Amino acid sequence: MTKDIEGRWAALTAQFPPSAPGRPADSGDDVRPGQVREAIWGRCEATVLVVGVDDDAAEVTVNPVSLEPGVADVNALVLEGEDSPLRGRVAIWPNVHATMSFIVLHDVVAELREDVTHRVLSGAHKTRAAGFGHGDSPRFGAMPLPASGAAIAFNRLLDSIDELALVRPQRSQTPKTHQTIKFPLSLSALMETLGITQAVAMSVIKGQRELTLDQAEAVANVAGVPVADVLAAARPLPDDLERELMEPRWRAVIRARAGTRGEAGAREELGRSAFALAARGKGSGRELWRQRIQAMLAAEDA
Amino acid sequence: MLLRVFNSELRRFPGLAEIDTAEDLALEFFADRATSYVDAVLATPDDEAATRRTRQWARHWLIDRVRTTPYGALRHRLEKRLQRSPLFRASAVANHWFREGEEDMDRVASFDEIHTAATDIRVDVFVDAGGRVVLGKTGQLEEMLLAVLKLSGRLHIADLTYLCAQRFPSVLEDGDWLTARHSTAEIEDAEDTHSNDAFVQAVEQTTDSRSAQDIFALLTEAERLALRFGDDRREVASRLGVGRSTAYSRIQSAKARLVELAGDRTRARQVMGDVLRLILDDDVAVPSIQVEGA
């Protein structure tokens, strides 16, 4: 790179400090309408505006969002200046809705002001896309020309939204994802240790039947492993824990741990670890599981 | 990272690489989109996603950059043609044009109606002896513009340019059969290029008799596939390895190309059956075709 180009880069980049305005400091926020979030699954990603939340189903209704200049059409609402939650403009398509699982959501990118959210959701926000590049049409408004960069970007956005909307979680009750932690005793040893039938022992190993704490301690003594590991291997994860693990606040941790086995495996393992930690703890509920996961991760970081 | 991406992406745009360096283009891109680009990259969850987004944004920007020159040329030539012809008058409203002898006013018409009117008029597009793209034989383009303005009333030159870019998609595409021989994709009008030279006459005759076989040969593989399964967006998406929205866009583009090659909508409908038969004979059932920009 020549010195001249280096100088021009330096002058340009100096205008952009690394922090982004509008980005909430706490990315552990609950999912709520008005948040602009990244949705990502594999190599497919899109920016979305959360417009509805079904907390029980852990699903959101979203509108597609583009931060790319020029990517807009007559159906887009473009938030600029003070209305934009970011430095640049934000184009939203309120006429395109998709339902996505929480598990594809990542951090909050920005959050619309309450009054802007209200206007967007109620359809009262009338700022339409300004003209752009090749597709400037004073009479008909913004219409990306076929095969233009803007048209390709818009198609890619809608295609990604389609793909992301197909992703659904694999629950750990299903045989496919259960039992990532191997039961520490063989079938015959378990039958002998607890004096139970083969059918009962099989269902314990498959995670379909819970052990009492006394039984788990007996198994732990024979196998020479901590009792928490026995409990973690033998019991399906509580629904509240599974649900909590679908919150985007854990997504970065899960993605970082996923490696080649995929996110479902990493999520299950995180849950098992939290579950093992809480084996002797009392209480349940998502808030409690959140605290336990946080504590476990903090302990790992320490 | 931005420089690395531009170095790699520029290979897709050999025309640009001849006149600009990756460093210059990256700088220009950053100066053009910096605010939004910084927002977008900070939004991504990791370096891999940031690189992927940068690559996409760079590609979109480079595509438009390549098309800027032919688009500007198209507008310029249209304006020249309107100025020169006694059939059109400049409106009292800046940059607007209307039909001579009619009122200088807007009329209510949708874009689709106006676009349909434009595709109903025969305009033969061909390349002249100098490798320049010619939009219509003498009077054809004027006839199309008259039909458009009759419906729309006065129209901004930007609207007319947009309409022509839709009507003649090849004009903006770098390296296709129309512009391949002319790197800047200069758009000439018929009056400038219609010398009495035998070559032009031969070209005109060829255009007149452009058969389904000729049209078939000028279509890309992806266009043939989009035309073959045009009623089934999912099938096109699956065979091209793209999403439904992109597939729809490809189908529309293929239909527009067919109209352009056939000369008008009626003729396109007439040759469509023949083209489809040729497509089926050619057995284009390729499992998956990856197309640039997918």
Residues B162 and B260 placed together within one structural domain of the fold: no
CB pairs under 8 A between A and B: 166
Residues B187 and B228 placed together within one structural domain of the fold: no
Residue range B26-54: mean pLDDT, rounded: 90
Is B262 inside a domain boundary? yes
* Token output for B65: 């950059």
Q: Which of B11, B39, B66 is the last residue of a domain?
A: B66
B97 three-class SS: strand
Residues B146 and B241 placed together within one structural domain of the fold: no
Chain A residues with CB-CB distance to B245 below 8 A: 154-156, 158-159, 162
Is B293 inside a domain boundary? no
Does residue B15 carry a pLDDT above 70? Answer: yes
Strand B187-188 to B133-135 pairing:
parallel
Question: CB A254: neighbour CB atoms within 10 A?
Answer: 22
Positions of E strands within chain B: 88-90, 96-99, 125-127, 133-135, 155-156, 187-188
Q: Which domains, from first to last, does chain A contain?
A: 3-165 (2.30.30.110), 187-301 (no CATH)
Nearest by CB to A147, from B31, B173, B242: name it.
B173
Residues A126-161: tens digit of each pLDDT: 555 444 344 557 777 777 888 889 999 999 999 999
Residues B81 and B107 placed together within one structural domain of the fold: yes
Q: Which of B10, B32, B66 is the last residue of a domain?
A: B66
Residues A225-243: tens digit of each pLDDT: 877 777 777 667 788 888 9
Cα–Cα distance, A150 to B236 (Å, whole number): 21
Residues B23 and B79 placed together within one structural domain of the fold: no
* Token output for A72: 């807009």
Is B288 inside a domain boundary? no
Contact by Cβ (8 Å): A164, A79: no
Question: CB A32: neighbour CB atoms within 10 A?
Answer: 14
Residues A196-233: tens digit of each pLDDT: 988 888 878 877 677 777 888 898 899 888 777 777 77
Which of B3, B36, B252 to mutate to probe the A interface, most A CBs <10 Å? B36
Does residue A37 carry a pLDDT above 90? Answer: yes
Q: Quote the number of domains for chain B.
A: 3
pLDDT at residue A121, as a whole number: 84
pLDDT at residue B293, as a whole number: 44
Nearest by CB to A69, from B36, B244, B256: name it.
B36
Residue range B87-105: mean pLDDT, rounded: 94
Q: Comparing C-alpha atoms, which of A164, A165, A148 is closest to residue A68?
A: A148
> Which pLDDT band, with edges at 50, 70 and 90, does A28 fall under?
low
Taking the CA of residue A213 and the nearest CA in chain B, the distance in Å comes to: 41
Nearest CA in chain B to A44: B49
Q: Is residue B93 within 8 angstroms of chain A, CB to CB?
A: no
Is B256 inside a domain boundary? yes
Inter-chain contact A146–B64, Cβ cutoff 8 Å? no
Does residue B52 carry a pLDDT above 90? Answer: yes
Is B201 inside a domain boundary? no
Residues B87 and B156 placed together within one structural domain of the fold: yes
Residues B105-117: tens digit of each pLDDT: 999 999 899 999 9
Is B111 inside a domain boundary? yes
Domain span at residue B124 reads: 68-167+176-192
Taking the CA of residue A179 and the nearest CA in chain B, the distance in Å comes to: 30
Residues B102 and B145 placed together within one structural domain of the fold: yes
Nearest by CB to B36, from A1, A68, A163: name it.
A68
Is B162 inside a domain boundary? yes
Question: What is the biggest distance separating any 2 CA atoms in chain A, rounded to whole angstroms?
Answer: 83
Does residue B289 carry a pLDDT above 60? Answer: no
186-205 of A, contacting B, C-beta below 8 A: none
Does residue B26 carry a pLDDT above 50? Answer: yes
248-277 of B, contacting A, C-beta below 8 A: 248-249, 252-253, 256
Is B294 inside a domain boundary? no
Residues B43 and B138 placed together within one structural domain of the fold: no
Chain B residues with CB-CB distance to A36 below 8 A: 43
Q: Is residue A210 within 8 angstroms of chain B, CB to CB?
A: no
